[in-house]
Amino acid sequence: MQYLIGYDISDEKRLQKIHRRMQKYATPIQYSVFLFEGDQHKLQECLKTILTILNKKEDDLRIYPLSKNSNQWKIGKPILPEGIIWTALT
């Protein structure tokens, strides 16, 4: 299953820690937006790691499931260099 995970972290140190941890589990789409691909167990593992850093009173974390049947549009500057095809987004 695919999920879009985004966050808004108020503290720079927490932001950097969360970003580094997210890179272990998901592909960065933008600085605070990641594409996660995996099962519920792997998603729970990712969230458990992130929630140890996140301040629930100051920060915001959002997770959106992506349907394999839905359309995906990419408008603007490409994420990957020209000639590189991201086969996970079909």
Going from N- to C-terminal start, the domains of the chain cover 2-66
Domain 2-66 has CATH 3.90.79.10: no
From 27, 15, 2, 13, select the one nearest 60 (Cα to Cα). 15
Q: Indicate the pLDDT class of residue 90, thresholds 50, 70 and 90.
A: very low
Task: Give me the sign of the Cα torsion angle 17, 23, 26, 30.
Answer: positive
8 labeled part of a ligand binding site: yes
How does pLDDT run across 1-57, given as a tens digit for each residue?
Answer: 899 999 999 999 999 999 999 999 999 988 899 999 999 999 999 999 999 999 999
